Amino acid sequence: MNELLLASDLAKVYPKVSKSGDRVKVMMRLLLGRALPDSLAHTVLSDVSLSVRAGESLGVIGENGAGKSTLLKLLTGVIHPSRGSVVLNGQVGALLELGAGFHPEYTGRENLELAGTLYGFSGPELKSKLNEIIAFADIGHYLDEPVKHYSSGMIVRLGFALLAARRPELLITDEVLAVGDESFQKKCVRWIEDYTKGGGTLLLVSHSMYHVQKLCRQAMWLHKGRVAASGDVFDVTQAYLAHHEKKSAAEALTTGRANSHDSYRVTQVLFNGDAAESGFFLDQQAELALEIALHSPDGRAPVVLVGIVRADGTPVYGVTTDVDKIEPARILDHEFHISLHYPELPLLPGVYALRVHALDPEGVRLFDTVTRDFTVRGESREFGLVRIAHQWRVPNL
């Protein structure tokens, strides 16, 4: 229906050129309309499809080199896709690279003319908006100096001011905003929020999950040139952050465990009644009930330790049966059961792991660990790991 942007099966292959002869080979292939051979091709993006409807806002996230900028350049027509197609049904304003469309030898004012045309302004239109642009950029007397004397922040100011005056139907912007200073960034973020509220459509690349969550409703995670996840902004950003937390945890994790065959063991953990090993979702402040079954080789009641850690291994909360002075109940000779309830789990949205440990009855040695990964869903914009009960008070004047 109202698809402003529709891209299907986009792929970008860069030619790998090491010898000077390769340049000629690539050129001949292009002239003959043939695809590049594998030995000369370097795929940076493949099988990316996306659609953006009027009024939507999509954030593209991913590591360095994941293909985010390439994707934006393909979408805006700066570079040509090797496969797939892009359909644009509206007028697009893009701020992709620092100083795009500006000539370093010309003054800011002169540059506004050419860049203005590149951004789609007509002559009289640009004239009528010139004051607005200059006011937004707020770079003072630098406006009449050559752009080569500008700081990177000033270049972004000028570029963004032009874009803001254009008010395109679809705004596409890369990480460039990060260059501006705090106050200008805030100004831009305010403007973008205003713009999306007013029905504008946004496509944004950022490493700042804060900006993405604040400005976008949808997100797409690019990983090594492919779409790793896409959908609701909170689900995708959380999955992305969890991926990174796990990655750093995997590097740090070197734990030794005593684990002989017949020792104290956790035989079963039911997560809200579910015996699966992963894929749990909880809503924020929801109830969590754990049913834990244990094996004891000598028939004595083991101590149980239940801990919650963030995906990167940061401990959030842990408690043992002997701290709380309680013992699992004996069901059979060697089998013990106990359950644990969190009536309103105060975790903030994110990916966590639940670790259930079996210790000896003295609570000294750790024998077994069972882990359950789970995701807390929600749209909270609070910071940290848990929600701490609080009250704001405004003094009565």
CB nearer another protein, residue 91 or residue 259: 91
Binding residues among 310-329 for another protein as defined by CB under 8 A? none
Q: Could you say whether residue 178 binds another protein (CB under 8 A)?
A: no
Q: Could you say whether residue 67 binds another protein (CB under 8 A)?
A: no
- What H or E segment, with its residue span, contains residue 262? none
Q: Among the candidate windows 101-109, 183-191, 196-204, 299-307, which touches another protein by CB under 8 A?
A: 101-109
Q: Is 139 in contact with 154 (CB distance < 8 Å)? A: yes
Q: Could you say whether residue 34 binds another protein (CB under 8 A)?
A: no
CB nearer another protein, residue 80 or residue 141: 80
- What H or E segment, with its residue span, contains residue 217? none
Among 37, 65, 77, 315, binds another protein (CB under 8 A): 77
Q: Among the candidate windows 48-56, 97-105, 139-147, 331-339, which touches another protein by CB under 8 A?
A: 97-105
User: Residue with structure tokens 């059979």?
Assistant: 332
Helix (H/G/I), strand (E/B), else coil: 360 = coil
In the complex, the smallest distance separating the C-beta of residue 118 from another protein, rounded to whole angstroms, is 6
In the complex, the smallest distance separating the C-beta of residue 368 from another protein, rounded to whole angstroms, is 55
> Would you tell me how many other CB atoms lie within 10 Å of the CB of residue 294?
26
CB nearer another protein, residue 94 or residue 269: 94
Q: Could you say whether residue 37 binds another protein (CB under 8 A)?
A: no
Provide the CA 381 distance to its chain's centre, in angstroms.
Answer: 14
Site string (123-142) toward another protein, x via CB under 8 A: x-------------------
CB nearer another protein, residue 93 or residue 180: 93
Q: Could you say whether residue 76 binds another protein (CB under 8 A)?
A: yes
Q: Is 19 in contact with 70 (CB distance < 8 Å)? A: no
> Would you tell me how many other CB atoms lie within 10 Å of the CB of residue 235?
18
Query: Total number of residues binding another protein (CB under 8 A)?
Result: 31
Q: Among the candidate windows 13-21, 129-137, 284-292, 301-309, which touches another protein by CB under 8 A?
A: 13-21
Among 3, 14, 193, 297, binds another protein (CB under 8 A): 14
In the complex, the smallest distance separating the C-beta of residue 19 from another protein, rounded to whole angstroms, is 13
Among 59, 99, 180, 349, binds another protein (CB under 8 A): 99
Q: Among the candidate windows 21-29, 178-186, 263-271, 326-334, which touches another protein by CB under 8 A?
A: 21-29
CB nearer another protein, residue 77 or residue 140: 77
Reported for 184-192, long-range contacts at CB under 8 A and 24+ positions apart, including other chains, are: 184/138, 184/153, 184/156, 184/157, 187/136, 188/160, 189/214, 189/215, 191/164
Q: In the β-sheet with 335-342, what is the strand arrangement from edge to edge?
A: 265-271, 288-295, 335-342, 329-330
> Would you tell me how many other CB atoms lie within 10 Å of the CB of residue 71?
27
Helix (H/G/I), strand (E/B), else coil: 188 = helix
**DSSP string of 371-387, one letter each residue:** EEEEEEE------SSBP
Strands (E), the chain: 3-15, 41-53, 57-62, 83-88, 92-95, 170-173, 201-205, 218-223, 226-232, 265-271, 280-283, 288-295, 303-310, 315-320, 329-330, 335-342, 350-359, 366-377
> Quick one: DSSP state of residue 107?
B
How far apart are alpha carbons 84 and 67 in whole angstroms?
16
Q: Could you say whether residue 113 binds another protein (CB under 8 A)?
A: yes
Among 3, 8, 11, 17, binds another protein (CB under 8 A): 17
How far apart are alpha carbons 266 and 271 in whole angstroms?
14
Burial of residue 3, with CB atoms counted within 10 A of its CB: 0-12 exposed, 13-18 middle, 19 or more buried: middle
In the complex, the smallest distance separating the C-beta of residue 142 from another protein, rounded to whole angstroms, is 20
Q: Could you say whether residue 39 binds another protein (CB under 8 A)?
A: no
CB nearer another protein, residue 59 or residue 101: 101
Q: Could you say whether residue 35 binds another protein (CB under 8 A)?
A: no
User: Residue with structure tokens 């690019």?
Assistant: 222
Q: Could you say whether residue 148 binds another protein (CB under 8 A)?
A: no
The binding site for another protein (CB under 8 A) comprises 14-15, 17, 23-24, 26-27, 30-31, 33, 73, 76-80, 94, 96-97, 99-101, 103-104, 113-114, 117-118, 120, 122-123
